[in-house]
Structure 1
Amino acid sequence: MKNIKFLIIFLFATVNLMAQEQISYLALGDSYTIGEAVDSDSTWSQLLVTKLNQKGIDLKLEKIVATTGWTTDELISAIEKDKELANNTYDVVSLLIGVNNQYRGYGIKQYEEEFEFLLKKAIQLAGKKAENVFVVSIPDYGVTPFVKKNNKNAELIGKELKLYNQIAQNISNDYGVMFFDITPISLKAVWDKTYVAKDELHPSAKMYEEWAEYIESSVYLMLK
């Protein structure tokens, strides 16, 4: 009887320990984070989790706060209204935002101020640990068929997004947050349309796979 009791206590403690070891991940962003036009298993954030799971890191994509079309101010509003976020922190937080600011022609100053606010919020949601937050650059959608079909200025889009990304990288550096520049990967769509989803605008699963591969090793070291 004592042995059975001991076994039950041991199993309970083991299960509890395993639960404590699971690493929670919160992803903040827009269509690039939810993976518009691809399956949920093919988003870069989920692929990152899958890759790290395969390497023995018990990471779980606990929550995604992202919607297609969101600008920085809309993401801020969504975060502030989310009661779950108000009462929780996460072991890892990612942030990818800004393409819709550029698309709608919002001012650079607004992006700079609101991106910094969001980064500070991401750090807060990561238990005030800047080292557990990472930022992903905005891909250059100027190379997609959508831009050509809609007679948009691809050169101007690339130029403006380069400025947006430089702002995000500078602010990330100021706060000691890792910044992943995936924009060069997005440029592969110039010669290979398999990097673009069927909507001819968003990244395909193939491109997201390469984003995840690029980010994986650094996040792995972060969590070890």
Structure 2
Amino acid sequence: MAQDSISYLALGDSYTIGEAVDNDKTWSSVLSQKLNQKDVEVQLDKIVATTGWTTDELLSAINNDKDLENAKYDLVSLLIGVNNQYRGYGIEQYKEEFELLLKKAIDLAGKRVNKVFVVSIPDYGVTPFAKENNKNDALIAKELDEYNKIAKNISDKYGVKFFDITPISLKAIWDGEMIAKDKLHPSAKMYAEWADYLAPGIYQLLK
């Protein structure tokens, strides 16, 4: 391509780093690969994510990352909240901190809202981990739905594209290959499906 490569920053938790899969099989990596195949040269420059992070922990990490102080990226993604739900944090905390995180993401994209996108929280209630640990799958689904509605509403408020991958996560109900060997996190197969779903929309954002 004649243009320079597009710098991509991914913000989140275990779903963003791809816990239990190889680095090149995470959804953000596969998404970058798919866009490159369409002659949109995307470089996954930085991931700020750690397994177990809640919204406040991600905020703290961003605020304390010297490399991000004056950084600007051409594409920024945000997927966060499952650990807030898992730990039983209040919904108001998520609402407040998700909005702060989205504003951070917009700043890191040079205040270009059309270069930021949000990914919904998958439903871990359908995983073997949830069943083996006697988690209430109906309650998990209900609470994550509330979280995702908040994330979408705030995304809409700022004009940021929101992608709902949660229905894809439900495929784990009948397809065991959608879950990694740890019985909790998505497998490379599921991440590939996320990337397939995301790619056309992200391509449009980057055109």
Query: Would you say same fold, with TM above 0.5?
Result: yes
Match of 1:140 in 2: 123
Deviation for aligned residue 1:21 = 1.2
**Residue type of the partner of 2:96?**
E
Q: Which runs of 5+ in 2 are unaligned?
A: none
Q: Quick check: which one's helix share is greater?
A: 1
Query: 1:222 & 1:177 partners in 2: Cα distance?
Result: 10
The match for 2:73 among 62, 87, 90 is 90
Deviation for aligned residue 1:28 = 0.1
| Amino-acid identity (%) | 71
Please state whether the residue corresponding to 1:151 is helix, strand or coil: coil
Match of 2:163 in 1: 180
Match of 1:10 in 2: none
Match of 1:43 in 2: 26
Query: 1:159 & 1:94 partners in 2: Cα distance?
Result: 24
Query: 2:125 & 2:154 partners in 1: Cα distance?
Result: 24
**Residue type of the partner of 1:142?**
G
Query: 1:87 & 1:180 partners in 2: Cα distance?
Result: 28
RMSD across aligned positions (CA): 0.9
Deviation for aligned residue 1:121 = 0.4
Match of 2:105 in 1: 122
Q: Which has the larger radius of gyration?
A: 1
Deviation for aligned residue 1:87 = 1.7
Q: Which runs of 5+ in 1 are unaligned?
A: 1-16
Deviation for aligned residue 1:217 = 0.4
Query: 1:58 & 1:148 partners in 2: Cα distance?
Result: 41
Query: 2:78 & 2:116 partners in 1: Cα distance?
Result: 8
Q: Deviations over 1:96-138 (max 9, x none)?
A: 0000000000000000000000000000000000110000000
Deviation for aligned residue 1:190 = 0.4
TM-score (norm 2): 0.99
Asked if 1:197 corresponds to 2:198, the answer is: no
Query: 2:130 & 2:204 partners in 1: Cα distance?
Result: 38
Match of 2:62 in 1: 79
**Residue type of the partner of 1:28?**
L
Aligned pairs (5 A) from 1:101-116: 101-116=84-99
Please state whether the residue corresponding to 2:183 is helix, strand or coil: coil
Deviation for aligned residue 1:145 = 0.2
Asked if 1:33 corresponds to 2:20, the answer is: no
Query: 1:193 & 1:22 partners in 2: Cα distance?
Result: 37
